[in-house]
Structure 1
Amino acid sequence: MKRELGIARCGLACCLCSENTSCQGCNSGKCPGKEWCENRKCSIEKHNSHCYSCREDCRKGLLSKIKPYGFTLFVKRYGEEMLLDCLEHNEKNGVVYHRDGIVGDYDEFDDVEKLIAFIKEGKC
């Protein structure tokens, strides 16, 4: 886990991403998706560091997907440090975020509250 990369503006876990080894995270200005990312553009326009800083309950852009939306709700409720702590703990216990061509454990949910509970509890 590259904890220093933290959480992307949209809620994705840059700290666990393995898709682009040269990416330095969402807020580095070098994110490969910076030109098209609706969440990045919106949060910059609203002067928010992240979507979780916004007061709106938004589902646009990547927040239309359950994982970034669930991570965003988690941070709104418990804070970014707790999310990072849980993700790190879960990774050490075998929870897979995602890897090239593999759907991760956090992707298998269709209920956001169950995803949030899984983030807190990990695999049983």
Structure 2
Amino acid sequence: MIRRLGIARCGLACCLCSENTHCAGCDSGECQDKDWCENRNCSLEKGISHCYICGEDCRKGILSKIKPYTFNLFVKRYGEERLLDCLEANEKAGVVYHREGLNGDYDGFEDVEMLIDFIKTGNLQSP
């Protein structure tokens, strides 16, 4: 985990991304997706640093996917530092952010609250 990379504007975990060795992030101006990224453009238009700061319950752009949507919701409830702490603890416990391609242990959930519980515990069978 490269903690200083933190959480992207959209809620994805740059700190755990397998692309972080050559990606400068969405604020660098060098991101290859910067022109079409709906979440980056929207947050820039609103003058906010991250989607989780916005008061809307938005599901546009990448927030239509459960992982970034839930990461944003987690930060709204518990703060970015708590999310980073949980992600770091989970990584140390063997939870994988990306396996082959872009899917990992945080993907495949259909229920937001179950994913929040998994983020907190790193355990699929938590109480």
TM-score relative to the length of structure 1? 0.94
Matched residue type, 1:76: K
Matched residue type, 2:31: C
Unpaired runs of 5+ residues, structure 2, are: none
Asked whether the 8 Å contact 1:6–1:25 carries over to 2, the reply is no
More helix by percentage:
1
The residue aligned with 1:110 is 110
> How do 1:1-124 residues align onto structure 2 when only pairs under 5 Å count?
1-19=1-19, 21-101=21-101, 103-123=103-123
Unpaired runs of 5+ residues, structure 1, are: none
> Kindly tell me: are residues 27 and 100 of structure 1, through their superposed partners in 2, closer, same or farther at Cα, counting changes over 3 Å?
farther
Number of matched residues? 124
Residues 84-93 or 14-23, more deviating: 14-23
Looking at structure 2, the residues matched to 28 and 77 of structure 1 have their Cα atoms a distance apart, in angstroms, of 27
Looking at structure 1, the residues matched to 100 and 19 of structure 2 have their Cα atoms a distance apart, in angstroms, of 6
Looking at structure 1, the residues matched to 15 and 26 of structure 2 have their Cα atoms a distance apart, in angstroms, of 10
TM-score relative to the length of structure 2? 0.91
1:63, distance to aligned residue in structure 2 (A): 0.2
Instruction: Output the aligned Cα RMSD.
Output: 1.4
